[in-house]
Structure 1
Amino acid sequence: MTDTATTPAATVPTTRTRAGLLTAFAVVLVALNLRLGISSASALLDALRVSPGLPATGAALLTALPTLCFAAAGAGTGALARRFGAERTVLLALLALTAGLAVRAVPHTGALLAGTVLGMSGLALCNVLLPTLVRTHFPHRTGLLTGLYTTALALGAALTSAVAVPVADAVGSPSLGLAVWALPALVATAVWAGVRAPSRAPGAPGPAERIPLRSVARTRTGVLVTAYFGLQALNAYAVVGWLPSLLSGQGMSESGAGAVLALTQAVGIPMSFVMLASTKGAGSPDRLRGAFVAVSLAMLAGFGGLLVAPVALAWVWAVLVGLGLCSFPLVLAVIAQSGGSPAETTALSTLAQSAGYLLAALGPLAVGLLHGATGGWAAPMTALLVTAGAQLAVGAALTRR
């Protein structure tokens, strides 16, 4: 009788542990896919101009579309999550991502842009909901899970930047080379299908709780987090969208330029954990402030180097800019730990990512237009130095005691 009575009690922790491990693995796998479609398009941008004959305006639009979709689709994430639940909304988002990347196999500018819109809209939902899901499923391990999934994100971006050109060469065209990245998205979709929402404690707020974005936008934290998120995303997507073209335009090979971009993104793989760990423990507010200032100064130095000597010390600038990209996990950690409930976290994440990515869309678009108008890279890089300085100022204000 004793064995029979204790078996169910012993089974519950095991079941919960397995569910937690599955969810953690699924979160990391989703994060791994969040930049594959963007980095592959960036690395293949010059090849896409030849086949399928992407015009200059189309190239500028292609680099700006991800952030535009993140802003537009991200704004509706809260409503979808309340209706379907965060877990099911992410599943729908992954289906859209997979389909959008697959559509880009068609060698036509219209298919390339349409597939990008569909896929990036799916990414927008995942971007907004991942901090909320981390807080909901792992309330006592938000720093660890944020570090894991931002590391996976950086790893996916770096890997794709390094191998996108060889993969496209192997399959015979840049269009098919873009569509290859639908396969890992399909795997993530299959794994995520097994994730279930955790049971809520009695009296806890349900998924129907709605926090108006305007109420978050009136707070100091909401304004500063949104401004910082937008500025760091503007700088990051300008780099991801145009760094290979900048370097290849100065005489570096396409594969070499892709490798430099890969290094830029790979630097964040170990540094994300270092930065997040440095903000824990005694004196964490001062450490957080120091981390925000350090990454912004690194971005400024990297942009300055790309302005004056882009190819001569390309690997040095890549490391500095890569350190600057660590601003992303830092601001995500702030979002995941903010608010009194998952609904408030979702509201802050929605505001920061919808309004922030709308600002960020100006980065790659402005860089493309300035480069097209001037025929060089001095004007675009000078503009990015200004935005990196603004990021430093906002980060200092955000982390002020």
Structure 2
Amino acid sequence: MTAVPTTITAPDAFQFLYEGEARYRAAYGGRGSAKSHSFAQALVIKAAMEPKRILCCREIQNSIRDSVQRLLLDKIEECGLSDFFTAVESEIRGANGSLFMFSGLRTNPDSVKSKEGFDYAWIEEAATVSQRSLDILIPTLRKPGSEIWVTWNPRLQKDPIDALLRGPEPPPRSIVRRVNYDDNPWFPDVLREEMDYDRRRDPDKYAHIWLGEYQRNSEARVFRNWRVEAFDTPTDARFYYGADWGFSVDPTTLVRCFTEGRTLYVDREVYKVGCEIDRTPDLFDTMDDGQARKWPIRADSARPETISYMQRHGYPKLVPATKGQGSVEDGIEFLKSYDIVVHPNCRHTIDELTLYAYKTDPLTGEVLPVLADKKNHVIDALRYAVELLRGKPPLRVSKDAVMQSAAPRLRVGRF
């Protein structure tokens, strides 16, 4: 006996739960991404279609109230399968012989060892799971075709589940996805309010709780001189535009900003991964109905063919940015000399200012004076945009000249 659920919908980010073969299917990320709901729904559907034995576990489960039983029952009702499944004490049974059981990996390890005939094990809140628990569970689930499903909000890079599934060599036949709130089309307004509050008040907390970043030393953050705030752009603003070109999985970006005194306002952005060169003019036009075509734009000089194409297709004032030794560091320091205000609509700018960090020593955790070359595409575009405000490039004098003078290194055109 099988059951066919009523019409259901699932976020695109979780289609991997229904496709192909795998030993591990895992999703990690921040709050509000629908990880638990999507995994519960997929397991309910599989158990309705065929007889399946499913172990739902977490590190500590003192009672059935600590389990995902309530979530599964809610999904059973949403799928129109309440007549097919029955909750019996600490189990959920299907009319076709399917069975959901619940267990704590640490609190009841002997019970886990007896589940070798199960088809699925779903580890919920896996960030807290110990190495010993994984060593018990993984070889226990030995039935041919059996799968281990994992959901978690990351804590530390050294946590056992992260070392297993996000390390340099994950197990064979592993499908591991990062999912966040922007992958959930039904992200609720009440959580959006909380998220926006954390983003304004505590960027580190926002990155960890909502973007699924590891907890980290806040000293590694590059930018602290910024805030998120809604504002009206003056009608007479002198705009500065900067562009960065996408490479493979990197995004093509365009950012618009203006200044008032020592405050830099970022009011608009465009951001697209996988944008072909012939689609880039149309992408840039979406920022301000084509008004960017009338303004000077400074862009990454590493792609002269892209700059030439843009100049010939409606963006004649787009020119290459000046790059050279130390230009990244100098540009970042110049941005840090401003108070930066970002409009809430510039989501990718906010994310990058939140996450952009210095490298840290993997052994000691010490912050190194080296910029990490990631999460910086909008920031690069912003550096290019304000390049002319910095005046001439810094004057770099020889080592001999420095040794002959007690004065600090001269830098021309810096504010």
| Structure ranking higher on relative contact order (CA contacts 8 Å, 6+ apart) | 1
Which structure has the larger Rg over C-alpha atoms?
2
Q: Which has the higher strand share?
A: 2
Q: Which has the higher helix share?
A: 1
